[in-house]
Amino acid sequence: MKRAFINTRLVSADTQGTTLVIDGDTIAAVAPNAIPGDADIVDCAQLVRGGGLLAPAIIDLGVFAVDKAACRAGGIVRVGLMPDQSPVLDDPGIIQRAADMGKPAIWVHPIAAATRGLAGVDLAEIAIARDAGARAVATGRRWIADSGVMRRVLAYAHDCDLTVIVHAEDSGLTGNAVATAGETATRLGLPSAPAIAEALAIARDLLLAEETGARIHFRQVTTAAGFDLIRRAKSRGLPVTCGITPAHLFLSDIAMSDFRTFAHLSPPLRAESDRQAARAAVADGTIDILCSGHDPRGPEEKRLPFADSAPGMAGAETLLALALGLVRDETVAIDRLFALLATNPARILGLETGALKVGAPADFMLLDRDAPWQIDTDRMAAKAGNTPFDKLPVQGKVARLFKGGAELA
């Protein structure tokens, strides 16, 4: 069945009037007045005031849980699932089952464990994991301290044509820290580690990636020193990318001041100077993707003393609305925003999607970018509402969401 979406604006178009036509599960045309005679007409102006905006559906790279309701609310139709599951994604059968977890609501693209059990000691069977459907390999929530093991991971992944996704914090410095060393951590009496732990980890892994020729993606970079290293690596032509969550763009470690465990994240929130450096890194293109870091945690893990609570936040359904704030304050343009949310994650995972182009899968949303709402932990669709943005007023709602041409309810 063909459908033509009219009276709207496309994220990559400057003017109203471009029509998007889908044929089954594929985008068939993107052009002004491209309305086939046998197509059903979808008048977007009748669905959203002003016609809204058609944009690629989000690809959320690096989630820790498959949360269908939260993804639907946030405009996400594909997730890169981290290997930190129970059981760990280090076996072909487990990887294949993970790929089926989201059907039919979302596509799950498993990211295989780089080492067995994510223990950082013995290499996992990366080639077998790739053949089972893994789209990348990852170190999980932890850094691989043994440089010899990390070098073998990168070399093996390079031979398998897979990107290595890494957590960048030198564990020799971080230990049991739950905060970044500084005034806030000192005042609260929290175990802390210096922010340089991130740069040390990035520096080593960049050297190993350059030596092996591997593609490397730093799942979250959050410090000025870390961004400087990424910039220099990119200037030398290394195949390096990095991501960040809205939390590290909009919050500093001051958000922990009341011991609110919803602000206990990994990596921890940083100083205001690092937050400003992160926003500059988004603006200048150093940061390649925006991700939610979706990690829903219930009260049994969050309603504890700060140092005893589990890190993580529920971010899938707030990712889009928070990211749109970067457009409103003119940090990025709207087309660049969806490159961060869809095009670039697709490229890292080796997926032929993430953009509104002919021949691509019909994964897209109709967005009401000005619709106001308030983030409320008690009313979130996620499995748990552990967000540090509780009660924050935001703008931007998904009016319609399509996965492979089928509308998701």
269 and 165 in one domain?
Answer: yes
Claim to verify: residue 69 and residue 22 sit in the same structural domain: no
Residues 11, 362 contacting (CB under 8 angstroms)? no
| Whether 97 and 207 share a structural domain | yes
Does residue 100 share a domain with residue 32? no
Asked whether residue 407 is assigned to any structural domain, the reply reads no
Tally of CB atoms within 10 A around 254? 15
Token pair 């030596």 is found at 211
| Counted domains in the chain | 2
Residues 38 and 157 in one domain: no
All residue ranges of the chain with pLDDT < 70 are: 13-17
| Same domain? 127 vs 250 | yes
CB neighbour list of residue 335: distance below 8 Å, 6 or more residues apart: 11, 12
Q: Do 299 and 377 share a domain, yes or no?
A: yes
Q: Are residues 41 and 132 in the same domain?
A: no
In a domain, 164, yes or no: yes
Q: Which of 21, 80, 135, 11 is nearest to 293 (CA)?
A: 80
Could you list the residue range(s) of the whole structural domain that residue 28 is in? 2-51
Q: Is there a domain that residue 400 lies in?
A: no
Q: How far apart are CA 239 and CA 347, in angstroms?
A: 12
User: Does residue 405 lie in a domain region?
Assistant: no
- 344 lies in the same domain as 375: yes
- Kindly report the CATH number assigned to the domain that includes residue 379: 3.20.20.140
Residues 27 and 149 grouped into a single domain:
no
pLDDT in tens, 275-297: 999 999 999 999 999 999 999 99
Residue 151 forms part of a structural domain: yes
Q: What's the pTM value of the predicted model, to 2 decimals?
A: 0.95
Q: State the amino acid at position 250 in one-letter form.
A: F
Reported as a single tens digit per residue, the pLDDT across 189-246 is 999 999 999 999 999 999 999 999 999 999 999 999 999 999 999 999 999 999 999 9
- Measured in degrees and rounded to the nearest 5, phi and psi for residue 242 equal -150, 160
* 166 and 37 within one domain: no
Q: Quick one: pLDDT at residue 17?
A: 61
Q: Is residue 114 domain-shared with residue 79, that is, in the same domain?
A: yes
